[in-house]
Structure 1
């Protein structure tokens, strides 16, 4: 008779995630190693990775990441979910190739550019975009103009949008380098890094690489279900990959939440896979206050996000423009939103609680915020933390 898989509750999953994300205790490692361990950092906003690393690394300084970008040891490129991530150079060559189908789906999806893109041979568009951008890095608007010379009836925005989905494009420096400014300029990973991953042309090598990435995902985000891995990556049909790895993994069941809707309770009971020796701290392990930037992957990389943000708080964080604010973790879970406000030479960090905070929690949030506002606005002459009433 097969032994039932152990059950993990919401707090146990939370503490496991925080431990692997280095949010229970700051890690004494290098920024490059942290980017590698986390399989990239979400980076639609160019400055978000700096806050993400500040919250995870002991003694992190912005110049460390800026130097990595300038040396091309890391790069900002669309990968998982076809969103911009800060990746190590090796991952910038690997992950966009493994997730290329996600970009192709985006190029074909119904939307404001679909009329132009459906009329084109997308392989031709990709080839033309590669030729142009490898000859000269360009801003998206300029790329669209160049492409329109070949497709005069196409919208320049649509043509550039299609290339962004079809090719692994780096946003070149000085954009996203701390203390510098720069427009969005694109070139290909091959041109920026000077090489490709030729081995990924072989199906067996590609499958092995995908298995390796799934194992790395579990190391940074597990325990996790097949649906979780698919949500993080944007890929589908990954069940055979997890099944093929079963002999290397252990499995659990997520404890259903009796207060959840029927569909969510069923999802919570799915099988969870994990690495045998990965940290799974006790559910009551103390979790310090942590500030995470907008779109942090700790919040976005599971089909069931209850392990870090309650559904009612996730809804409260939604904004009409599709952006989400930074969040504050209190006792390991999202409890507030935050934003930085600059007024002339002064800087203020505004905290908006999503639930009532106890006096001790307010004290701890304020203490962490005081350090963060000085990190983010070192050049300001005055710093303030404002915690709204709830």
Structure 2
């Protein structure tokens, strides 16, 4: 890509031109790359080419706020700014306020949600889950205290994390030796027998999905 761009702009560094295209233009990664379990150099095309229609030119983020809240609400203005990288969103939320439902958390911070969004009972149990790197569950809010207890190092948050009852409890990784794939589950604090049992069901499903052609093993350890 850089070489082709340099033919048109020969006075610029080819690598810099390629980076500019990748980070500024709306692109999509297409097959044969971006396929689970297969490596190789990424293949890109423009969103317009892939979808067969032009990209909208509207720059006001009004349409983005409801879509963000549909995934991450209730959330604050700062939460969305942290997630999106956009600034000055308070005026957008104020403009959309008649269409949103406001709340206040225990700290008095104003939160917003969609009026029709589900609001389950606070005591509703959340099933255990294993998350990939940089999952939006952790990156979708500036305030992560609802899932990340105090003292849990932020260096772990962007990694392969797992939750029990909706709370960040540790990290996981695969270890592959010969024909055996071991899922290592490292917890910050001891897991109860019931918690381990609930994680095992989810863990076997994860390994079967990620490594279907190998024998499986599950091991629990504690982060030292």
Q: Structure 1 length as normaliser, TM-score?
A: 0.53
1:227 corresponds to: 78
> Quick one: distance in 2 between partners of 1:241 and 1:179?
41
Instruction: Give yes or no for contact 2:170–2:185 (8 Å, CA) kept in 1.
Output: yes
- The answer as to 2:216 corresponding to 1:358 is no
| Structure 2 residue corresponding to 1:291, chosen from 130, 136, 140 | 130
Q: Which consecutive unaligned segments of at least 5 residues does structure 2 have?
A: none
CA deviation after TM superposition for structure 1 residue 153, in Å: 5.3
> Quick one: distance in 2 between partners of 1:150 and 1:311?
53
CA deviation after TM superposition for structure 1 residue 182, in Å: 4.2
- Taking only aligned residues, the RMSD between alpha carbons, in angstroms, comes to 2.1
Greater helix fraction, Structure 1 or Structure 2 = 1
2:47 corresponds to: 189
> Quick one: distance in 2 between partners of 1:173 and 1:314?
37
- The answer as to 2:29 corresponding to 1:165 is no
User: For residues 247 and 161 of structure 1, do their structure 2 counterparts lie closer, same or farther at Cα, with a shift above 3 Å needed?
Assistant: same
2:165 corresponds to: 331
Alignment of 1:37-186 (within 5 A): 143-152=1-10, 154-178=12-36, 180-186=38-44
- The answer as to 2:222 corresponding to 1:389 is yes
| Structure 2 residue corresponding to 1:245, chosen from 80, 96, 112 | 96
Secondary structure (helix, strand or coil) at the match of 2:222 reads: coil
Instruction: Give yes or no for contact 1:173–1:182 (8 Å, CA) kept in 2.
Output: no
Instruction: Give yes or no for contact 1:325–1:339 (8 Å, CA) kept in 2.
Output: no
C-alpha deviations, 1:2-49, integer Å up to 9, x for none? xxxxxxxxxxxxxxxxxxxxxxxxxxxxxxxxxxxxxxxxxxxxxxxx
Q: Structure 1: which 4+ aligned runs deviate by more than 4 Å?
A: 150-153, 179-182
Secondary structure (helix, strand or coil) at the match of 1:312 reads: coil
| Structure 1 residue corresponding to 2:111, chosen from 258, 272, 281 | 272
Q: Structure 2 length as normaliser, TM-score?
A: 0.89
CA deviation after TM superposition for structure 1 residue 343, in Å: 2.4
- Tell me which of the two structures has the higher relative contact order, counting C-alpha pairs closer than 8 angstroms and 6 or more residues apart: 1
CA deviation after TM superposition for structure 1 residue 221, in Å: 0.7
Q: Which consecutive unaligned segments of at least 5 residues does structure 1 have?
A: 1-142, 257-268, 319-323
